[in-house]
Structure 1
Amino acid sequence: MTLHASETWHAALDRLQRSGAPHVLATQVTSAGSTPREPGARMVITQETVYDTLGGGTFEWQTINAAREFLQQGRTGFHLESFSLGGRSGQCCGGFVNVLLEVFPGATVNIALFGAGHVGREIVKLSAPLPWQIHWFDSRADVFHEQDRRQPRLSCHTLSSTQEGTAALPPYCHTLVLTHNHDEDYALITALLQRRDIASIGLIGSDSKWASFRGRLQREGYSAEEIERVRSPIGAVHNTKLSNKTPYAIALTVVTELLWLTDKPASLETRGLEPNALRTLIDDTKTT
C-alpha cells in the first residue's frame, strides 16, 4: 500500500538525500493541452511513500510504478517518461506530459566516524563523492558546523555515551575511531567489540598507542581473535609510516583503505582486510 505523506517534496528530498535512502525525484518537464499540473511540478517517490503530487489519477500511478521499477532494478540516473492523457494513462484530459525521473540509489555502505577533528573533517570531505552514508559522532556539542548538517549522506551526532552511539549503528557498518581523547577512543573500541555484526573497526594512532590498547584489552580478558578485529594504525600501507603527516594525507590513506574494505560484500565472517592482504592488493594494482 502506498502512503501519501503530508511532507512536501523538497523537505522529503532534503531528508532522503541526507539519510542516504533510495528515492526518485519526478519532475513534469513539458506539457501540451489540458494537464493536471504545470511544468515544474514535482513529487518524490520511495518504495513505500509518495511526497507531493503531479495531479493524481492513472497518470500519477503509472509515474509512481515506473519510479519503483527503476529503484527495484537498480537503474539509477535519468529516465524520461511520456504520457498521453487519454491514451496510455486512460485519463480524459486529452493533454500530453513528459516526466523526468531522477533515480537515486541511496547509500550502499555505512561508515561510522568517531571524531570531528582535522583528520575526521578531511575524511568526510574526501568521502563526499562516494556512495557512502557517513554517521559522524563527537562528544563535543559545538564541533559540528551548520553546513555539516546539510551535506547529503552525512548525519551528525553529539556522542552522549559510547554505548548509546555504538548500539545505534546499522549492521555491517565500517567504523573509524579518531577522537580527541585516548580514554574515549578506548571506550569506543571496547563498545564496538561487543557488536559482532560490525564490518570493520579502525583506530588512529601510533604503534605505541595500539600496543598500550592491546595490552589493556588482553588484561581485561579479550581474546586474540577479538583483538585482531581492530585495525591500527588506520591507513597503514606496506607497513610503513607516511612522512607527510598532514590531516589530508592521513585521510587520503584512510579513505583508500576503506575503498578496499567496502569493495567486498559484508558478512559476519568478513570484518576487514588483514594488513598483508591489503598490501598484496595494492601491490597487484601497481603491476597491472
Structure 2
Amino acid sequence: MRKHQRWHQAISECEQLGEAYVIATVIGTAGSIPRDIGSKMVITQQGCFDTLGGGHLEFKVIEHAQTMLKGTNALNEVQHFPLGAKLGQCCGGSVSILFEFFPVQAMQLTVFGAGHVANALMNILGGLPGKVHWVDSRAECFHADNAVAGNIEMHVLEHPQDFVADMPSNSQVLILTHNHQLDYELLELCLKRDDLAFIGCIGSQTKANRFNLRLKNKGFGEAQRNAWQCPVGDLNIPGKLPMQVAVSIASQIIKMNEKNVDLPREGVQWKELKQVMFEEQ
C-alpha cells in the first residue's frame, strides 16, 4: 500500500487485499486539540494512513490500534486521551477516539507452485478479494499477465519451504508444485504449524495415501493426517485440463471464504459514549 494514501483510499485497498485494519476517529474534543471531530486515520500491521495530528497522541493511537490488530474479535472501543504533559503535548485539551477494528474477512492464501494449473488459477484469484502469496523457485514460470493483479504477490525463493514460517496465521494453503518430494516437504512443514485454516494438495487419492503413510511413519497423529486434503478442489466440477482443475480449486476456495464473511461485531458500550458526551460539555 502507498504510504501517503488518504484514510478512505487505504480502506478500499485493505478490503481488496484482505488485510485487517483499524479506523481511528476523533469523536469528542475539549479545549485546544490538533484535529477536529470527524478526523480519521487507518492503521494496519504494516503502517498507518492519514493523520490525527502527529505527536505522542498519534503514537498512542497507533500503539492501541496495533494491539487490537493482534486479536480476532471485531471490536469497537472508545479511548480518552488528555493532551497534557503525560502525552508530551502542549495543546492542553483532550480527545476521545473511536477505534473500529475490521479483522481479515477475505481469503489469506498461499499457493506453492507456478505450473500450468497455478497460472490458470491466478487468472481467477486475481479478481477476488483477499491476499495471495504465490511461491516458486522458478522465476520464468510466473506468467507476466498474472503480475497485474494487485492482490497477488510473487515470491521467487530457491527453497520455497522457507516461506512456510512466514505465512500469516489462519492462512489457507495450496500445494501445487511440479515435484512430489517438494509437495511432501511443504505438507510436513504446514502440518507442524497447527494454525492454518486449510491445506490442500494437488494429486490423486493414491498420492494422498502414500503421503499419509509417510506422515504416520514420521510420527504424525491421525488428527494431523486428516488435516489436509488431496485431491484438492470441488469434486462436482470435472475435467483434467489446467483451467478445469483451476476452476475446481477456485470453487472450493470461494465456498470456504464465503462462510467467513459475516463475523459478529461487538459495539461500543453505552457507558463509554456517556463518558464522551459528558466530557464534551
Of the three residues 47, 71, 82, the one matched with 2:43 is 47
Number of the residue aligned with 1:41: none
Q: Give the paired residue count.
A: 195
Aligned partner letter, 1:185: D
Deviation at 1:186, TM superposition (A): 0.5
The secondary structure found in structure 1 opposite 2:200 is strand
Q: Deviations over 1:127-183 (max 9, x none)?
A: 222112111001213322454444211110013334421110011111100101111
Q: 1:149 to 1:19 in 2, by over 3 A?
A: farther
Aligned partner letter, 1:129: G
TM-score normalised to structure 2 length: 0.58
Number of the residue aligned with 2:249: 254
Q: Deviations over 1:192-249 (max 9, x none)?
A: 00111100100101122112111111111111110101101011425xx83x211111
Deviation at 1:16, TM superposition (A): 6.7
Alignment of 1:218-257 (within 5 A): 218-237=216-235, 242=238, 244-257=239-252
Q: 1:192 to 1:46 in 2, by over 3 A?
A: same
Deviation at 1:256, TM superposition (A): 0.8
Structure 1 contact 162–187 (Cα < 8 Å) conserved: no
Number of the residue aligned with 1:181: 179
Structure 1 contact 106–131 (Cα < 8 Å) conserved: no
Structure 2, unpaired ranges of 5+: 22-40, 54-73, 75-102, 262-281
Alignment of 1:198-209 (within 5 A): 198-209=196-207
Structure 1 contact 17–152 (Cα < 8 Å) conserved: no
Alpha-carbon separation, structure 1, partners of 2:214 and 2:150: 38
The secondary structure found in structure 2 opposite 1:46 is strand
Structure 2 contact 139–156 (Cα < 8 Å) conserved: yes
CA RMSD across the alignment: 3.9
Alpha-carbon separation, structure 1, partners of 2:176 and 2:217: 23
The secondary structure found in structure 2 opposite 1:130 is coil
Structure 2 contact 121–246 (Cα < 8 Å) conserved: yes
Number of the residue aligned with 1:190: 188
Alpha-carbon separation, structure 1, partners of 2:223 and 2:241: 33
Alpha-carbon separation, structure 2, partners of 1:47 and 1:8: 13
Q: Deviations over 1:20-65 (max 9, x none)?
A: 5478xxxxxxxxxxxxxxxxxxxxx63373369xxx9xxxxxxxxx
- Relative contact order (C-alpha < 8 Å, sep 6+): which is higher? 2
Number of the residue aligned with 1:142: 140
Structure 1 contact 107–131 (Cα < 8 Å) conserved: no
Q: 1:119 to 1:164 in 2, by over 3 A?
A: same
Alignment of 1:27-176 (within 5 A): 46-47=42-43, 49-50=48-49, 108-176=106-174
Q: Deviations over 1:108-136 (max 9, x none)?
A: 22011111111101111112221121110
Alpha-carbon separation, structure 2, partners of 1:245 and 1:7: 44
Alpha-carbon separation, structure 1, partners of 2:258 and 2:16: 22
Q: 1:199 to 1:16 in 2, by over 3 A?
A: closer
Aligned partner letter, 2:42: T
Deviation at 1:260, TM superposition (A): 2.0
The secondary structure found in structure 2 opposite 1:176 is strand
Aligned partner letter, 1:159: L
Alpha-carbon separation, structure 2, partners of 1:194 and 1:50: 36
Structure 1 contact 18–151 (Cα < 8 Å) conserved: no
TM-score normalised to structure 1 length: 0.56
Give the fraction of aligned pairs with identical amino acids, expressed as a percent: 29
Q: 1:46 to 1:225 in 2, by over 3 A?
A: same
Alpha-carbon separation, structure 2, partners of 1:22 and 1:170: 12
Alpha-carbon separation, structure 2, partners of 1:186 and 1:162: 12
